Amino acid sequence: MPQYLRIDSLARPGLEDPYYAAVLEEVVPRLIEEGLLHGKTVRGKPHVLDDEALRRTLQLGIEPMVCQQQGWSFTAIEAPIDDVLKVLGDIDGLDVAEVRENVEVLPSKRGPLIGPEPPPVRPLFLVKPRASDWTVVVIRIHWYTPADWDIAAGVAIAASKRLKTRAVAAFNDDIAGSFAREWKNGRAGEEWSTNDSPDDFYLKFYQRQIAGPSSWMTARNGQHAFMSETPDAIERVDYIGITEPQQKPAPTKRAKAPDTAQPTTGEDLLRQLALAMGAPIKKKPTAKKRPKKR
């Protein structure tokens, strides 16, 4: 006899944070509406059929990779990991200095670095989840810089075009929120963000069957290493070390000192933030001049 589970009781294997259950409670009813899962109401509570489709769904989504991270960036490509690895070695602007295939997935454990410092290259990791046909290029976890998006988008464009497939680049930072864009055969397609529709942001990755397993970058015994809270959810991980281009120093200019020191006000800070985010700045209304008395 088919067994149905209450949707508000669903949990991710190996992950206990209630955040994951909250996302599933939003996503699963939408997947039932789209016919990807089967559900029914039992005693006034929504239930979902406990079948292979549900068990796979519980391993999809990007929450395990991005939950409780201050920032992150990655690119997911719908292609075998070996094909993606070949493309990464031939992308303009991506200077690959070191490659190690099939590296060990260490159990997640936070702490100080063990052993000498790793090589002075930037680590990227190719991750092939067991539950998904998409390969994920983990670019950065727990931090974000605009250069991360340049890498993510560049990889998505090149990989989708050369492999004639789909690729999704995504990032998050504390100010701009989360953003994702899809490319098909090198052409930009759908984009979505938490600013436009917070409830749909994570759903889009389930709809595409993308999985982002728990991931953490570290170093062990003088080498860049990869950790995960759920190693069994990962089929294979490859390490790619890239050389980051050196930034040219900004030209030095001598500025004239103002006659009087002006303190930075809260309005000034908001104005600077708006400029940084590209938001339009409203001008203050100017007071009308009074006519002179005769």
What are the CB-based long-range contacts (under 8 Å, 24+) for 218-222?
Answer: 218/106, 218/113, 219/113, 219/114, 219/115, 219/117, 219/118, 220/106, 220/113, 220/114, 220/115, 221/114, 221/115, 221/116, 222/115, 222/116, 222/117, 222/118, 222/119
| Amino acid at site 244 | E
For 92, residues 6+ apart whose C-beta sits below 8 A from its C-beta are 154, 158
Question: pTM for this structure?
Answer: 0.80
Same domain membership, residue 188 and residue 108: yes
Same domain membership, residue 237 and residue 101: yes
Same domain membership, residue 163 and residue 231: yes
Quote the number of domains for the chain: 2
Q: Domain containing 112: what range? A: 63-243
* Domain stop point among 217, 243, 269: 243
Profile the chain (294 residues) by mean pLDDT over runs of 10 residues.
Answer: 91 82 93 95 94 95 89 97 95 91 88 74 96 96 90 96 97 89 96 86 96 92 92 96 69 42 40 47 44 49
182 within 8 A of 189, measured Cβ to Cβ? yes
159 within 8 A of 75, measured Cβ to Cβ? yes
Same domain membership, residue 69 and residue 52: no
Same domain membership, residue 68 and residue 52: no
Same domain membership, residue 160 and residue 21: no
Report pLDDT digits (tens) over 56-102: 999 999 999 998 888 999 999 999 999 999 999 989 888 999 999 99
Taking the alpha carbons at both ends of the chain, their separation in whole angstroms is 98
Chain-centroid distance, C-alpha 113: 24
Q: How far is CA 110 from CA 18, 85, 216, in A?
A: 21, 28, 9
How many other C-beta atoms are found inside a 10 Å radius of the C-beta of residue 120? 9
Same domain membership, residue 40 and residue 147: no
Report pLDDT digits (tens) over 38-63: 999 999 999 999 999 999 999 999 99
Whether residue 189 lies inside any domain: the answer is yes
- HSE (side-chain half, CA atoms, 13 Å) at 215: 31
Q: Are strands 223-228 and 45-49 parallel, antiparallel or unpaired?
A: unpaired
